[in-house]
Structure 1
Amino acid sequence: MRIAVVTESFLPTTNGVTNSVCKVLDHLRAEGHEAMVIAPAAGSPREYAGFPVHEVPALAYRQFPVGLPSPTVQRLLADFAPDVVHAASPFLLGAQAIASANRLGIPAVAIFQTDVAGYARRNRLGAATAVAWRIVRWIHEGAELTLVPSSASMHDLESAGIPRLARWGRGVDLVRYHPANRLDPLTADLRARLAPNGEVVVGYVGRIAPEKQVERFAALRGIPGVRFAIVGDGPSTPAAKRALAGMPVTWLGRLGGPELAAAYASFDVFVHTGAEETFGQTLQEAFASGVPVVAPRSGGPIDLVQHGTNGFLFEPSDDEALRSWVNLLGRDAALRARMGEAGRRSVLGRSWQAVCGELVGHYERLSAAASARLS
């Protein structure tokens, strides 16, 4: 098949959208498909996985390049003549790609990855929330299929009247993120740095931005025998450091590759504080590493965390419950071990190969339907 991937985010910008797009491209290359990428101008590589990468004009917003509509998009799609257009987290650039695909008679798949309702609540947008949903509906109505990552997202989009929905989760690297990494010298060295006296390590991995609410780790202040590790960076880093001042926190910055795998393996408990996750990829990576998770009962974590089995869920506004669950896990090594094993089991069927194979199945179905309409 020939797939045109139009993404609102790509390398060198790193986030959930970029990571998913790269995994899809890796799979397409491994399976012998052809692809190209259209992305906002941000200094992207000229190719990825052997596929050409085309940049279009962009402007910067909150440290992210935002792709602008450009006549180049339709020309690139027409020249490449794909079987399917894959619009990753479509906004301005993705909306144009979907519209261009419709004009060219090419089916488009839209990947929903933004918690519009949560963003509106956090920013107290009030009446503007309805406008935001109208924009989302306008974008996604043009797609032949919208793939959503969680039951919470499915409910939100159904309530907004968006048609043609299906579930598609995210994969996890079960080899890179593995409990055996605890025996790696890299992990041992990091663990000695994070917990020099054998303390319990409570960790977080992700962007440090307003929606992630890393400042809520302050609710864990004073839990005995616990130290904290924060992996990531972002615009809220100064505010988070002020909120957690005086706590035993090690700020590790952005990590990747073996260093990130070692960080997960060095944790005893993984805590996610943000309530606006449409999926929760870092939760899956923690589970793959054999680490129990504490997360809000909101969005993607609802589908990933089996309360009382592989971790605990707390009501998004309940800092006392957050503290209580972390305190319980911090005191009970046997419980951590059982939940960590359950977490690993819960993601064994979610390799990127399996998840991307499911995605290609959607491509094939839409391409076949488009061919049938033309015959």
Structure 2
Amino acid sequence: MKIAIFTDTFLPDVNGVAKTLGRLTKYLDQTQHSYIVISPKQTRKEISAGQIYRQSSFPFPLYKDCRISLPNTIHLKELIKQFQPDIIHVATPFSIGLAGLHFAKKYNIPIVGSYHTDFDQYLKYYHLTLLSKALWRYMEWFHQPLQRIFVPSTVTRQQLEQKDFNHLQVWQRGVDTSVFHPNYSSEIIRHKYNIKERFILSYVGRLAPEKNVDLLPTIAERLPTELQDQIHWLVVGDGPSKIHLENEWQKNVTYTGFLDQKEVANVVAASDLFVFPSETETFGNVVLEALAAGTPAVTANEGGVTNIVQDSFTGKICDGNQADTFIDAIQSILRNDDWRLQLEQNAIRYAHKQRWEDRFEELLYSYEFVLEESKSKQKHA
């Protein structure tokens, strides 16, 4: 199979979409499928390499970590004619995704897409809810021609069904258990960050409004005093909210900044709980990674994470933006050693069944089904 992937984010970007596509291309290499990736150029010096074709781009003014690309359509036209893909996969709905949609229509190539990000939810955190109606109108137009729309969770599928999206299929995510597992030394983390407290609680992800990270200091400061003194928080990641957090929350917390994957795995494995208040996740890869590392998760009752965490079995699901429910969950788990151990064991058993290889095989099978469907329609046209 020859697959052309059009995406507005790719490695070395640090987000769920880029990481997922990076793992997909690695799997395609291993299984000897041909592919090309059309993605943004991150720096002026960066050039196209191998099957990755970089397009000029600039930071999106409202969200610096996102880039707007300027696809070279003349070059891409020649590339598509030369490569002759069997199928096009558009992973994002913006500039490069639009180019993929254009070439699929122009050359009658079967096209699928994946829905990774709940942009509508992001708008409220940036006080842009007036744009919601226009955004949905555009998203409906963009996704209408796609022969499959892969969504990461049943929650996202239900949300899109209510918006009358068609051809939806759940394609969940996996976890790399060679990296995320419980067999790390917690002493390494305790020594590195000079942690003397009994418990370690961690958060991993972008430090940005849409991740609801402003709830973390509220939770920390409203825990009972005797428990506060037993907890050290590790906040892993970077983003626009970091400076505000550092100014507001300084007691028993370390901001590690960006860490590589193995360092993240070690932090999470050394933690007693993983606290993740985001309400905008379509899946929540970091939550599954925490479970694989043997760390129960305390999460919001919103988005795709509700398909990962089983309440009172692998963690606790809390009421959205309500700090009190997070506080109750954290207290109840930390004060019951036997239950915490059971949650850890359940988390490991569940997460270690979620293999990336199985997920990619599901995706390739769906590609083949779409190709057969397209051939059948052409025969009867």
TM-score by length of structure 2 reads 0.91
Identity %: 27
Instruction: Say if 2:243 is the partner of 1:244.
Output: no
Instruction: Say if 2:366 is the partner of 1:366.
Output: no
Instruction: Say if 2:305 is the partner of 1:306.
Output: no
Higher mean C-alpha displacement, 223-232 vs 286-295 = 223-232
Question: 1:195 & 1:343 partners in 2: Cα distance?
Answer: 27
- Report 1:1-375 matches (<5 A): 1-43=1-43, 46-47=48-49, 51-61=50-60, 62-71=64-73, 72-181=75-184, 184=185, 187-194=186-193, 196-218=195-217, 219-221=219-221, 222=225, 223-245=228-250, 247-375=251-379
For the 8 Å contact 2:47–2:54, the answer to whether it is kept is: no
Deviations 1:267-315 (A, max 9, x none): 1100101111111000000000010000000001111111111101111
Instruction: Please tell me the residue identity of whatever aligns with 1:209.
Output: A
Q: How much has 1:153 moved relative to structure 2?
A: 1.1
Q: How much has 1:215 moved relative to structure 2?
A: 2.0
Q: What secondary structure is seen at the aligned counterpart in 2 of 1:22?
A: helix
For the 8 Å contact 2:215–2:321, the answer to whether it is kept is: no
Question: 1:290 & 1:138 partners in 2: Cα distance?
Answer: 42
Q: How much has 1:250 moved relative to structure 2?
A: 1.1
For the 8 Å contact 1:67–1:93, the answer to whether it is kept is: yes
Question: 2:248 & 2:47 partners in 1: Cα distance?
Answer: 37
Instruction: Please tell me the residue identity of whatever aligns with 2:52.
Output: V
Question: 2:38 & 2:2 partners in 1: Cα distance?
Answer: 14
Q: What secondary structure is seen at the aligned counterpart in 2 of 1:58?
A: strand
Q: How much has 1:166 moved relative to structure 2?
A: 0.5
Number of matched pairs: 367
Deviations 1:195-215 (A, max 9, x none): 633520000111111111222
TM-score by length of structure 1 reads 0.93
Instruction: Please tell me the residue identity of whatever aligns with 1:46.
Output: S
Q: How much has 1:341 moved relative to structure 2?
A: 1.1
Shift in CA distance, 232/127, structure 1 to aligned 2, threshold 3 Å: closer
Shift in CA distance, 195/328, structure 1 to aligned 2, threshold 3 Å: farther
Shift in CA distance, 68/156, structure 1 to aligned 2, threshold 3 Å: farther
For the 8 Å contact 1:296–1:313, the answer to whether it is kept is: yes
For the 8 Å contact 2:197–2:232, the answer to whether it is kept is: no
Higher mean C-alpha displacement, 139-148 vs 113-122 = 113-122
Structure 2: runs of 5+ lacking an equivalent: none
Question: 2:11 & 2:171 partners in 1: Cα distance?
Answer: 23
Instruction: Please tell me the residue identity of whatever aligns with 1:190.
Output: I
Question: 1:168 & 1:360 partners in 2: Cα distance?
Answer: 11
Structure 1: runs of 5+ lacking an equivalent: none
Q: How much has 1:148 moved relative to structure 2?
A: 0.6
Question: 1:132 & 1:320 partners in 2: Cα distance?
Answer: 33
| Coordinate RMSD, CA, aligned | 1.7
Q: How much has 1:57 moved relative to structure 2?
A: 2.2
Instruction: Please tell me the residue identity of whatever aligns with 1:199.
Output: R
Question: 2:347 & 2:298 partners in 1: Cα distance?
Answer: 12
Instruction: Please tell me the residue identity of whatever aligns with 2:336.
Output: D
Deviations 1:82-126 (A, max 9, x none): 111111132221022122112211111111011133123333434
Instruction: Please tell me the residue identity of whatever aligns with 1:253.
Output: G
For the 8 Å contact 1:176–1:261, the answer to whether it is kept is: yes
Q: What secondary structure is seen at the aligned counterpart in 1 of 2:195?
A: coil
Question: 1:180 & 1:28 partners in 2: Cα distance?
Answer: 29
Deviations 1:107-158 (A, max 9, x none): 1111101113312333343442111111111111121110011122112211
For the 8 Å contact 1:10–1:18, the answer to whether it is kept is: yes
Instruction: Please tell me the residue identity of whatever aligns with 1:271.
Output: V
Question: 1:41 & 1:192 partners in 2: Cα distance?
Answer: 39
For the 8 Å contact 1:145–1:165, the answer to whether it is kept is: yes
For the 8 Å contact 2:299–2:316, the answer to whether it is kept is: yes
Q: What secondary structure is seen at the aligned counterpart in 2 of 1:240?
A: helix
Q: What secondary structure is seen at the aligned counterpart in 1 of 2:67?
A: strand
For the 8 Å contact 2:283–2:304, the answer to whether it is kept is: yes
